[in-house]
């Protein structure tokens, strides 16, 4: 299996820009293993699917906008960097495109005083990148 098997185009209009109001009106996809069917509901209907002893986990983490668009420092080619997993304070595992042109040592600039350097390349466009910035990382990606 290749990571490219999971590439798809998602129209901008299909990406939520703000939370649903009221919050319990957000969409809920329900899969029935018994009938092998999918139905679409709203989140307020979730109570119909919970049974005694079930656990409901609430995720209140903040989502970072992790798709960064930048330019290669040498030659100014466009670069897309999708952050996948934080390794430490400044290093991230990322899906980079165009992967073939981003060798270790390549610098990608995202804005004034905010750039990354490719440290390692792995299979299928996955790379380890280190970010350079002054201040709080989350402020730069927002």
Model pLDDT for residues 10-39, shown as the tens digit of each residue? 787 777 777 789 989 999 999 999 999 999
Question: What are the start and end residues of each CATH 2.40.10.240 domain in the chain?
Answer: 67-141
First to last CA, the chain: 32
Pick the CATH number of 67-141 from 2.30.290.10, 1.10.1520.10, 3.40.50.300, 2.40.10.240: 2.40.10.240
Whether the predicted pLDDT of 138 surpasses 90: no
Model pLDDT for residues 44-82, shown as the tens digit of each residue? 999 999 999 999 888 776 666 688 999 998 877 899 999
In angstroms, the Cα distances linking 108 to 7, 59, 74, 102, 135 are 22, 32, 9, 9, 18
């Amino acid at each position: 299996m290749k990571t490219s098997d999971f590439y798809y185009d998602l129209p901008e209009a299909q990406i939520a820009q703000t939370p649903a109001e009221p919050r319990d009106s957000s969409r809920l996809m329900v899969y029935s293993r018994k009938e092998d069917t999918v139905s679409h509901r709203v989140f307020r209907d979730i109570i119909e699917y919970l049974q005694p002893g079930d656990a409901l986990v609430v995720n209140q983490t903040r989502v970072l906008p992790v798709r960064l668009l930048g330019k290669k420092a040498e030659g100014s080619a466009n670069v897309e960097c999708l952050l996948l997993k934080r390794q430490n304070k400044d290093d991230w595992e990322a899906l980079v495109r165009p992967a073939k042109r981003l060798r270790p040592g390549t610098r990608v600039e995202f804005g004034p005083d905010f750039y990354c350097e490719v440290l390692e390349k792995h299979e299928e466009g996955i790379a380890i990148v280190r970010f350079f910035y002054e201040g709080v990382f989350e402020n730069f990606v927002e």
